Amino acid sequence: MTDIAPSFDEALRTVHLEALHLDRRRWQDWLALYTEDCVYWVPAWRNETALVEDPQAEISFIYAGSRRVLEERVNRLTGGKSLTTLPAPRTVHCVTGGLELPASAPGRRCIATAWTNHVYDPRLRTHKVLFGHYEHELVSTPSGGPCIASKKVILANDHVESVLDIYSV
């Protein structure tokens, strides 16, 4: 980690690259975009209008406090033992916008985007759409290229249809 935050353009490109890795199911490439001590967080909603704010005291859909936890998920998705990915659904993430927000710490670039994810289940031949906002915080790595230090996924339509995983949001 260096102290110089990645540029806005580099950071936004990484946000789009992440979505592409998910759609192409390049899970290892996807994991490699995250720092070891990353936070990946999909909060639940407290009620109709307020999101959960403290993942240690309130329920989240997904809370991973390190890349290790994301690796566990990827192992489960690719291990052939979870019915949720036999077969895996096809996803198309549409990530738009790209506004810089104040970062939480020096050395980080915070990018806010809006996302729509179309999920097609080839077994059931059903289509569902999930959507919301992302807040990514990216840092620079010595080896070059930005890395995701934190990702917050705000899921607008939280009435979950059967399965929700890292590729759903």
Residues of the shown chain interacting with another protein in the complex, contacts defined by CB under 8 A: 42-48, 52, 55-63, 72-73, 75-76, 79, 81-84, 123-126, 128, 158-165, 168
In 3D space, the residue among 128, 168, 130, 135 whose CA is nearest the CA of residue 153 turns out to be 135
Instruction: Return d(Cα 107, Cα 98) in angstroms, integer.
Output: 19
Cβ 8 to another protein shortest distance, Å = 31
Closest to another protein by CB, 17 or 31: 31
Cβ 62 vs Cβ 40: under 8 Å: yes
Closest to another protein by CB, 92 or 160: 160
Cβ 92 vs Cβ 117: under 8 Å: yes
In 3D space, the residue among 83, 76, 156, 161 whose CA is nearest the CA of residue 119 turns out to be 161
Fill in the amino acid letter for 156. Answer: A
Cβ 142 to another protein shortest distance, Å = 30
Cβ 133 to another protein shortest distance, Å = 17
Cβ 99 to another protein shortest distance, Å = 27
Closest to another protein by CB, 82 or 116: 82
